[in-house]
Amino acid sequence: MATIEFRDVEKRFGAFQAVKPMNLTIQDGEFVVLLGPSGCGKTTTLRMISGLESVSTGTILLDGRDVTWAHPSARDIAFVFQFFALYPHMTVRENIAFPLQAQGESKELIQQRVGEVSRLLQIEPLLGIRPGSLSGGDRQRVALARALVRRPAAFLMDEPLGALDAEFRAVMRAEIKQLHLDQHATTVYVTHDQIEAMAMGDRIVVMSNSEIQQVGTPAEVYYNPSNLFVARFIGSPGMNLLKGQYADGVVNLPGGGQYRVPAEWEGAVRQALGGSGEVVMGFRPEAARLSADGSIGAELYADELHGAYTMLYLSLDGQPEGVYVRTDRKVKYPIGTPIRFDLDPAMVRFFRTDTEKAIQREVVTA
């Protein structure tokens, strides 16, 4: 078990800053997801923890021990890659046993450990066969077993489900999480898939442009994104964003609509904007409620049945992008129908247009 700590860790490739100075502490037993689009620095960050990539400046601590310059093999960390590299000429049993044999462990211990992990991952029936004939999901289970069998202090996983089809991904996602709940090994997991990050992470580190945008629980990054990037990136679809002019407690929308800022936000918004000015309102698709006398007017542009619910896409005058509204499947209107809606005041957020950062308010606790 291990804590992992980054102190001002930076990575440069020549003039390119792949990871800007970063501070982050991953607690013992925590499942932390590094999430971001390709090129954001998440894989480089992971590789620095493993020692596969050197650090340009700063310090990495493993359980308080400075491992910045320690050899990868001296870090007691197991790496699970997207492409499961199994030895084709060995049986599943031999593949799983390999790391222990390399460490010179006794036959009895190897047999016991291989037995344990294969029971855990339910791959006992596969032990005698070669990986060539296994399905993608089973191969990934064997690769996981091989990582687990060493009982490392921490797991690093780099898009381990990226190569699987959507159906298997959902199954394996739950299995890996389940495994973590059983074992509680510190895990750092890299993905570009926000659904995976939300489903699996105790905490999510959202990265973009070589730096951390936000660190928080799934609920925090979903409901309280720190800036417009996180608001758009988390959620499928992302947060709805409407641009308007704030003055005297009201956001005036370009099409003539007016939204009264909830009382608990008014002070913070006024202060952030220095009295009045341009502001972005954000809300999730499920925060909107259709109502004939709703304060915001729009027009139906498209509607999408998602099985259990329907997602409406509404266009608004003067807004470059429309908004998604999640509704009951029974809601059906012709395209072009004028639609009015209101927002759940507890789910409205505000962003500055200059810095793109969320406007924060003091939370009064009773």
**Is 283 buried (19+), middle (13-18) or exposed (0-12) by CB count in 10 A?**
buried
- Asked if residue 198 binds another protein (CB under 8 A), the reply is yes
Distance of closest approach, residue 251 Cβ to another protein, in angstroms: 24
- Asked if residue 236 binds another protein (CB under 8 A), the reply is yes
Distance of closest approach, residue 225 Cβ to another protein, in angstroms: 11
- Asked if residue 28 binds another protein (CB under 8 A), the reply is no
Q: Which residue has the tokens 């370009």?
A: 254
Distance of closest approach, residue 307 Cβ to another protein, in angstroms: 5
Stretch that binds another protein, among 57-65, 152-160, 230-238, 272-280 (CB under 8 A): 230-238
1: Cβ–Cβ under 8 A, 6 or more apart, which residues?
28, 29, 153, 184, 185, 186
Cα within 13 Å of Cα(31), Cβ side:
20
167: Cβ–Cβ under 8 A, 6 or more apart, which residues?
none
- 313-332 positions binding another protein, by CB under 8 A: 313, 322, 326
Distance of closest approach, residue 300 Cβ to another protein, in angstroms: 9
Among 67, 285, 319, 323, binds another protein (CB under 8 A): 285
Among 39, 301, 342, 357, binds another protein (CB under 8 A): 301
- Asked if residue 337 binds another protein (CB under 8 A), the reply is no
Residue count, binding to another protein (CB under 8 A): 37
- 238-257 positions binding another protein, by CB under 8 A: 238
Distance of closest approach, residue 181 Cβ to another protein, in angstroms: 6
Among 52, 102, 109, 174, binds another protein (CB under 8 A): 174
| Strands lying side by side in the sheet with 349-352 | 258-260, 250-252, 240-247, 277-283, 349-352
- Asked if residue 131 binds another protein (CB under 8 A), the reply is no
- 82-111 positions binding another protein, by CB under 8 A: none
Query: Position 29: which residue type?
Result: G
152 vs 322, beta carbon nearer another protein: 322
Angle, nearest 10°, between helix axes 136-148 and 166-183?
20
Among 20, 130, 177, 357, binds another protein (CB under 8 A): 177
Among 71, 133, 181, 256, binds another protein (CB under 8 A): 181
Q: What is the DSSP string of 267-318?
A: HHHHHHTTTSEEEEEEE-GGGEEE-TT-SEEEEEEEEEE-SSSEEEEEE-TT
Q: Which residues sit at the interface with another protein, rule CB under 8 A? A: 167, 170, 173-174, 177-178, 181, 195, 198-200, 218-219, 222, 232, 234-238, 284-286, 301-308, 311, 313, 322, 326, 335-336
